[in-house]
Structures are given as C-alpha cells and as structure tokens.
A and B are shown apart, each in its own frame.
Chain A
C-alpha cells in the first residue's frame, strides 16, 4: 500500500489513456475508498485498456466487472457514494450513457442538496466520447451539453495527458459527482510528460494553452487539437490567436472567458457537438451579457452540423476542421 503523501516522480511520457490508467492506480493506492466498476473493466482492463492492471493490483472487491446494465452501474455508484466509497464507473462509450441519466439527474446531482448535506455523492462517471475513430454506430457522439445543464453535476473534459491525469485525480478527490468525458480520438495521439503521483488540477478553471491578442479560440476535448492547428495557421498569416481549453463545462469559469475577450475582442467557439442547443451557446451568451462592449465582432461558433453524428463514412465531414476554424477567425477580424 502506497502512502498518500507520495512525492511526484520524474515526469514520464504517457498518452491520454495511459494517464487515465495512472491516475486510477494512484488514486486507488492513495485511498482505499476508491473503487472502480463497469463493463469489461476488471479482467479485460477495459475495451480501451484504461483500467488495465487494476484488478491485479487491488483485487475484485475494488475492481468490479458489472453485469451489462448502464442504469445499474449508475445506481450502484450512487448507493456506494452515499455510504463513503468513491466509485469511479466506466461507461464504455458515451452512446450508451443515456440509461444513467435518471440516476445522475434525479439522484447523484441532488443528493447533497435534497438531504441538506446529510448524504453526498462523490462519484465519477468516466466515458470515452467523440468521433473520428471509425467506430460502429452510436460510438461517436458528443452530448456533453445534455449533462452540462444538470445543476450539481460537474462536467470535466481533458485534452492532454497531463490534464487527463490532473483532472481525473481532482475528479476522484472531489466531494461532488463528476462526469469525466475522455476524447477517445486523441487517447493515443501523443505521449507527453506526466508526473506520476502528481498533483490534481483545479476543476473550475479554463486552461489558457496559448496566449494571443487578436482572436480567442475557445474549445475543449479532441477539438483542442484542430484549434491549436488553426492557431498555427493563423500565426503564419500574422494573426495572434489565444487558445482557451474550457476543460470544465460545469461549473464554468466565466472569468477567464471574459478576460480573454476583454483582451482580444473576438471569439470563435469550437465544438464537435451540434451547434443548436450546444454548449457553445452558453459561452456565447456569457460573452454577450458580460463582455458585450469588448466584442469587436459577432461571436462565431464552429460546430458539428445539426444532425446525428454520421456513421463513420461521413463523420469527418461533420466534425469541424481546421479550415472552418481559420475561416471563422478571419471573419471576426474582417468584420
């Protein structure tokens, strides 16, 4: 059993799915109350191998293969969390998460509130999400906006190995329920240094990935990579783009969003989900109400089209590409 006061080791290169795995190992070693559960997560180590080695390290009482029932996984997690465990449940793909909605909305997110603090629900639901891996139908959705409106439920989306590690550790430590959405298209995109036994990251701050002065590119999840690529292209054209990774959709760090618009006066919001009713609308409304006089152009949204995520033959055409982000940024400058 490792001590809870491990010094951070030297950073070692990891991809995002390895960072998830490392965070789970470290959290389980640090706190006996942390348990993981889900479909195929114990013996098989998860279909993406995010939970590999946990059963061997911590045993089947803490690493539980559940029957195939997502609603059950959520209800089990709620029950365990109310009694002091810290369950980290895996929903295999976001396309199968909807059976958990009733437990999340009606119970997990309001347990502390409706018992006036007597019980709480410190659970984490992890789910891979988003398109771009040529997956079967129903395996490529981005429905984060459905969850971001649930009061009491934190919604967290990392976009790099280090933020995956730090945000997942923070989510597991957090006394509130957290939906932790993992952009699976970039699970194995690159290996970057991550400190083992590293520190958690804040759950209510945006990350400024690149400083700029002309336009703010605001995104989260896998789209951060197209957004960074767009910032590179814009730089070649002499345009200085600031890149904000929202990372925590609920609660939302409005301060950082307002601050970046105060600086640049222009906003392009990028997400993979459909634009209609998408979370970009909430950010656009925040900018309109709290930063209107700093805006020099209408807020641009670059999003998936208002259709179900196409089956993989057409999915690339639906997801925002760097070209659409660059064009939108230029429109704000030409306004």
Chain B
C-alpha cells in the first residue's frame, strides 16, 4: 500500500538515498534495471544536446530530470498497452522498443524517426506530440477503442504542467470520468512551461486535485523517485486494465535542462533554485539507494557507464550514417494513394531532387 492523495506526495526514497520503506527482496532486479535505463538515458540526453550544439541535430527537448518517471512508465506498461507521449518521454519510448537512433532521427528533422519498429510494443503508440496537450484527447480516443473492444489494456498519456491549463486536459479528464475509460494521465510537473512557473499556471493547491472535479482518482507522487513511481503506475495501470476507471497522477519533478536547446533558462530561473533541484535529482538518488542496500557498486557503475557510452555512440553513428529520405516522401505518405491532383508536383519534385534518376 502507499499513500494516494492529491495533497501529499508519495515518496519511497529520501533525497539522500535513504529508504523510507525498503522494497521486498523480489523488487531489486526491477529497480536495478530501472537504474540502468535511467543512466543510459541520462548519457543519451547529454550527447543529444551536444549533437545539437555542434549542428548535427535540430532543436532538441532534453529529458534531464525526467528519467525516473519516464523509466517507470516504460517499466510498468505491458506490450499490449498503449503509450501516448508528449515530448520528454525518451526513456519510455526506448523501453517500448523505439531505437535511440530513431529518437535522434526525429529530432534531426526526419519523420522516419516516428516510424517505430514493427516488432516493438511501440508500434501502435502515438508519436511525439508538439502542440501542447493535444495528445490528451487522442489518448481518450485510444482508450475508447480499448474499452469498445473489451480489451484488458490500459492507455498511458503524458503531459507537462503547462498542458494542464489547456481545455484539452479538462475535456480529457471529464470524458475519462463519464465513460470510465482505461486511461492514466501522467503529468510530469517539472515546475516550468518554458519560462512560466507552475504557480502562474494554476491557483489550485495541486494539479492532482483537478481529478476530483472530473470524478476520477488523482494523486501526487515523487517523480524523482523510481520506486514510488513504480508503485503509482503499477496500481493505476492495473486498475485501468481491470475496468476500474481513469486516474490522474501528478509526478513532482524538476526540469534540470532548458526548455529546449533553443531556450536559455538563466533568463528566468534562479541559479539557486536549479542548484536546490539538483539535490533531489533522480539518478544519483536511486544510485545511492541501491549502493546503500548493497545492490550496486562502483565497479558495476563504471562498467555500465562504459556500456552506455558504447551504446549511445553506436546510435549516433547509425543516425549520422543514415542517408536522407527521398524528397518525394513529403507527398507519398500524405494520402493512402497519391491523388491525381498531386502527380505533377511529385514529378517536379523528383526531377528537381534526383535529376529524374532514382537515387
């Protein structure tokens, strides 16, 4: 059991990595796997930012600070569940079988990054959603399909704290309540919507409490705490799969990065606030807890980080070596069959970009 209220943040790990409530013996393997993913994604994210700085990637939305909540999402979703992301969900997408090079390809301006592998659980997942909050109503549609088909599956959708100001958020919670949809709305409350802090988004005491108005359950969890997030998502997804209705989870985290690589958070965020947030960050916190419990050590850490470096470098090499898509792709996937009205444009595009010869 764990605390589930909109007003008290469920936590398992103290900031210094001390356990409030130690997991049972059967839980360590999952936490270690979670830690490995978090460390991998931390390295991946750092290198992705560097790629952007050197002109090899487009504007990139960092997931620094979101590792625990997004890893927990990936660890708790079943393959036949559905994931509807916003755009800081790299860890979840990776655990759903999206390749790291595809994540780079997407932020590198190439839609093929959204063509997830056919054999991955992510194959039916929606791609990243840039217009804020618009993925929420879509997730309600996916959940309606799951319910209509009598599936024992759940739909997990993510958004940031800024998205909770949108009508989409309220419309989604509302219909999820009325229709008892198998939908989990996971808010990554990282305290910032670009430059606007959480307190300027809503006068509500918490975001989780907004569930009450929609007639669904809502609670707050420490988003920097992997075991707490696993508790929350295990509970919520299991309920949804069993037809017990929708849940809103507010995961408390902190955006340790700029909004994107095109942003400079020093314009609006105090250095002291950022420093304080680093004391609560999820990766070191879980590492300390694992070490403290005797389930991780310096040698394992060193070996794993070396492995991560190799894996990320291979993904980068693969991304950089991928030939560009044919220009005609911009038309070829627009309709199921290219309408006659577009044939002339396609012929011109092909002529201009290949000189009439197929690449």
Contact = CB atoms under 8 A, between A and B. Distances in A.
Determine the interface band of chain A, counting residues with CB < 8 A from chain B: 35 or more
Contacts of B339: 204, 251
B215 to A, nearest CB: 12
Interface stretch (A115-123, A187-195, A325-333): A115-123
Interface stretch (B57-65, B171-179, B233-241): B171-179
A183 to B, nearest CB: 23
Interface in B8-42: none
A115 B111 contact: yes
Interface in A118-145: 118-120
Contact of B175 (A66, A118, A120): A66
Given A69-B167, A72-B172, A118 B114 contact: yes
B340 A79 contact: no
A75 interface: yes
B114 A253 contact: no
Contacts of A22: none
Interface string B214-244: 0000000000000000000000000000000
A152 B342 CA distance: 11
B313 interface: no
Interface stretch (B138-146, B278-286, B297-305, B350-358): B138-146
Interface string A54-93: 0000000110101101011011111111111101000000
A310 interface: no
B137 interface: yes
A176 interface: yes
Interface string B149-161: 0000000000000
Interface in B105-151: 111-112, 114-116, 123-124, 126-127, 130-131, 134, 136-148
A78 B172 contact: no
B268 interface: no
A89 to B, nearest CB: 10
Contact of B333 (A72, A74, A75, A117): A117
A77 B127 contact: no
Contacts of B84: 79
Given A69-B167, A112-B336, A75 B142 contact: no
Contact of B115 (A77, A106, A118, A253): A118
Contacts of B141: 75-83, 87
Max chain B Cβ within 10 angstroms of own Cβ: one of A71, A79, A113, A114: A79
Max chain A Cβ within 10 angstroms of own Cβ: one of B84, B114, B137, B146: B137
Contacts of B137: 71-72, 74-76, 78-79, 103
B138 A114 contact: no
Given A116-B329, A117-B333, A71 B167 contact: yes
Determine the interface band of chain B, counting residues with CB < 8 A from chain A: 35 or more
Contacts of B123: 118
A76 B148 contact: no
A106 B131 contact: yes
B333 A82 contact: no
A114 B111 contact: yes
A204 B342 CA distance: 12
Contacts of A13: none
Interface string A39-67: 00000000000000000000001101011
Contacts of A61: 147-148
Contact of B127 (A62, A74, A115, A255): A115
Contacts, number: 143
A84 B145 contact: yes
A212 interface: no
B114 A76 contact: no
B334 interface: yes
B329 A112 contact: no
Contacts of A287: none
B87 interface: no
A139 to B, nearest CB: 22
Given A69-B167, A106-B131, A175-B336, A118 B116 contact: yes
Given A152-B334, A152-B335, A115 B114 contact: yes
B131 A72 contact: no
B335 A75 contact: no
Contacts of B321: none
A258 B127 CA distance: 40
B326 to A, nearest CB: 11
Given A69-B167, A79-B144, A254-B341, A151 B334 contact: yes
Contacts of B126: 79, 82, 119
B44 interface: no
A84 B342 CA distance: 27
A118 B334 CA distance: 12
Contact of A83 (B82, B131, B335): B82
Given A76-B137, A77-B141, A252 B116 contact: no
Contacts of B143: 79
Given A79-B138, A204-B340, A254-B341, A67 B178 contact: yes
A154 B140 CA distance: 24
Nearest to B339: A251
Interface in B50-87: 82, 84
Nearest to B337: A175
A112 B144 CA distance: 21
Given A69-B171, A118-B114, A176-B335, A82 B138 contact: yes
Contact of B168 (A75, A110, A204, A254): A75
Interface of B: 82, 84, 111-112, 114-116, 123-124, 126-127, 130-131, 134, 136-148, 167-168, 171-172, 174-175, 178, 329-330, 333-336, 339-342
Given A69-B171, A72-B137, 7 more contacts: A72-B175, A75-B140, A79-B84, A82-B138, A102-B131, A107-B138, A113-B333
Which 6 interchain pairs have the tightest Cβ spacing? A79-B141, A75-B137, A251-B339, A79-B138, A175-B336, A76-B141
